[in-house]
């Protein structure tokens, strides 16, 4: 039975009051070691947000990435990406020597060179793990044992073994491993645990260090009045610890072959649709188990973030199912998802859900009813709306999040100008420019700032712009182009971008739009 429509006061996001936010992934933060991190980089950014009177930091999924470096295809739904670990805290703990960090000094500062970063930083983290073992955690063994007690059986031990076996098999996807490992033969797994005992322990230690640094960051964010807004991919990757250790979650056979895969039909981003290739869930299994895995996944997200966006929310009402082996997503069909039952189960276990729905694209009335019946805010992206002659910014629902653009869009400056890779015609770009200027009342030179002001002026309880828009950057600063695999997820902000006049002007915009977080009467000192 569908839940009754709730009042908007049931929304966790509405209860926060009017807020302004910045979207930037951890990888894109400035720092000395080739990639942003969850220690020094993130802590400095939290201070910057407080100074700007920004109350929300939105970032991308935190899981460990694989080939392609996409945070939306993580190797685990529960593990953290240890490339985001801060190294200076490991020096302070005595797990690394300051001089050992010198090898990262020549990595670029304006983009992530993953090909150089991953082996160099990975070697340092291995060294830190070895010293953690040798020195018995430098007084952290009680905390470490508690972490293992909470996580080992649920996901950590399977993930650690998965990473060890993936290394043994040259990083190939698990369906290509030796058959005994693919089918999780108990004797084969026992031998592997014994053979890879050291590597398994090092993986567990690095996950403990990630959790420790992240919880320290979360405490500082709470103290500074900054909401941590995370992101959850709706699907898990086939080549993931979750799919390997719990194939019953998915529509795959015992050798890891899916019958159908996920994607979306043709849309704004791609005329052939998007063929994501993720295996689909066996929703009948999830229903029989009371959606236990989803409850645990949401519980885990709530421990890391204050709010979490569910990517491709509409797939929980109906999802696009594409036969495995299809060359494009055009050949798919809509199939009913778990709908209301999933949210009822999560609410029963966890209470009010701190969720925002990514409800872009083709959205049916049934999707809106599902979202609204659980008080979940949707999204409005101004780049998608300005060409609609009926669009009225003042008519945006209060229980929603308004964006200038997202990590999947071009920057606002790049979108306004158009570029060589643009799917729009020259005439369409000119029309967009005219509409944007009319809607904002701004100028071509200030369009990035004007669009942010427009988002801030709407009734939406939360208004967010990517960091690139605050900086006024063009298309070269775009983070991701959907449907492509080259040069994505690499952009980084430079420390020199953060000039005092930018901080002052943002704080002023936040104040003018009555979006100063509760407890801050003016720009934070």
Assess whether 110 carries a catalytic annotation. no
| Residue whose C-alpha is closest to residue 384's, from 418, 426, 432, 420 | 432
Answer yes or no: are the C-beta atoms of 455 and 464 closer than 8 Å: yes
Which one of 408, 410, 450, 469 is the catalytic residue?
408
* Residue 43 structure tokens: 């802590």
User: Tokens 């490992």 correspond to what residue?
Assistant: 181
Cross-strand pairs, 227: 56
CA-CA distances (angstroms) from residue 442 to 13, 187, 207, 276, 404?
30, 68, 47, 38, 14
Which one of 358, 372, 410, 450 is the catalytic residue?
358
What is the side-by-side strand order in the sheet with 56-58?
355-357, 307-310, 227-232, 56-58, 19-23, 462-466, 400-403, 378-381
CA dist., res. 510 & res. 503, Å (int): 11
* Residue 210 structure tokens: 């990630």
What is the side-by-side strand order in the sheet with 333-336?
274-279, 260-264, 318-323, 333-336
- Dmax (CA) for the chain in angstroms is 69
Answer yes or no: are the C-beta atoms of 320 and 263 closer than 8 Å: yes
Crossing angle (nearest 10°) for helices 141-151 and 197-223: 100
* Residue 217 structure tokens: 């960051």
Answer yes or no: are the C-beta atoms of 515 and 20 closer than 8 Å: yes
How many CA atoms lie less than 13 Å away from 100 in the CB half-sphere?
18
CA dist., res. 98 & res. 256, Å (int): 44
Answer yes or no: are the C-beta atoms of 228 and 221 closer than 8 Å: yes
Assess whether 201 carries a catalytic annotation. no
Assess whether 317 carries a catalytic annotation. no
* Residue 483 structure tokens: 């449907």
Which one of 51, 239, 242, 311 is the catalytic residue?
311
Work out the number of other CB atoms within 10 angstroms of the CB of residue 289.
13
Answer yes or no: are the C-beta atoms of 3 and 343 closer than 8 Å: yes
Active site residues: 311, 358, 408
């Amino acid at each position: 039975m569908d839940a009754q429509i709730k009042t908007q006061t049931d929304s966790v996001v509405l209860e926060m009051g009017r807020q302004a936010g910045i979207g930037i992934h951890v990888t894109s933060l400035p720092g000395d070691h080739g990639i942003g991190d969850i220690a020094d980089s993130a802590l400095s950014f939290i201070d910057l947000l407080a100074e700007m009177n920004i109350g929300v930091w939105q970032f991308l999924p935190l899981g460990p990435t694989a080939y392609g470096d996409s945070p939306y295809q993580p190797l685990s739904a529960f593990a953290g990406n240890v490339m985001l670990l801060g190294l200076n805290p490991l020096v302070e703990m005595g797990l690394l020597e300051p001089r050992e960090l010198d090898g990262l000094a020549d990595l670029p500062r304006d983009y992530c060179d993953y090909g150089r970063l991953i082996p160099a930083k990975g070697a340092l983290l291995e060294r830190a793990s070895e010293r953690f073992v040798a020195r018995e955690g430098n007084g952290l063994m009680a905390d470490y044992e508690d972490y293992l007690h909470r996580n080992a059986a649920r996901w950590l031990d399977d993930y650690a073994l998965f990473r060890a076996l993936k290394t043994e098999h040259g990083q190939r996807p698990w369906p290509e491993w030796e058959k005994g490992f693919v089918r999780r033969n108990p004797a084969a797994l026992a031998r592997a645990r014994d053979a890879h005992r050291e590597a398994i322990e090092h993986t567990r230690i690095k996950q403990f260090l990630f959790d420790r640094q992240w919880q320290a960051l979360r405490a500082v964010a709470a103290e500074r009045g900054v909401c941590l807004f995370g992101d959850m991919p709706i699907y898990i990757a086939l080549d993931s610890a979750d799919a390997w250790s719990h194939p019953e979650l998915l529509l795959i056979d015992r050798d890891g072959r899916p019958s159908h895969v996920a994607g979306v039909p043709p849309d704004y981003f791609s005329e052939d649709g998007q063929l994501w290739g993720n295996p689909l869930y066996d929703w009948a299994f999830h229903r029989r188990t009371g959606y236990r895995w989803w409850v645990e996944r949401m519980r885990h997200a709530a421990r890391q973030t204050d709010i979490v966006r569910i990517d491709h929310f509409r797939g929980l009402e109906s999802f696009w199912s594409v036969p495995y082996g299809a060359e494009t997503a055009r050949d798919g069909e809509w199939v009913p998802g778990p709908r209301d039952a999933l949210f009822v189960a999560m609410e029963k276990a966890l209470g009010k859900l701190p969720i925002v729905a990514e409800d872009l694209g083709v959205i049916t009335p049934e999707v809106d009813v599902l979202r609204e019946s659980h008080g979940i805010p949707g999204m409005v992206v101004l780049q998608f709306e300005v060409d609609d002659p009926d669009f009225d910014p003042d008519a945006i629902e209060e229980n929603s999040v308004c964006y200038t653009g997202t990590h999947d869009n071009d920057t606002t400056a790049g979108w306004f100008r158009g570029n060589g890779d643009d799917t729009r015609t020259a005439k369409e770009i000119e029309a967009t420019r005219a509409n944007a200027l009319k809607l904002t009342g701004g100028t071509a030179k200030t369009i990035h700032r004007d669009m942010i002001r427009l988002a801030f002026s709407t009734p939406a309880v939360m208004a967010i712009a990517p960091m690139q828009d605050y900086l006024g950057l063009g298309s070269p600063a775009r983070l991701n182009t959907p449907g492509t695999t080259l040069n994505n997820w690499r952009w980084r902000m430079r420390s020199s971008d953060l000039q005092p006049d930018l901080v002052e002007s943002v704080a002023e915009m936040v104040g003018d739009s009555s979006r100063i977080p509760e407890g801050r009467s003016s720009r934070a000192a």
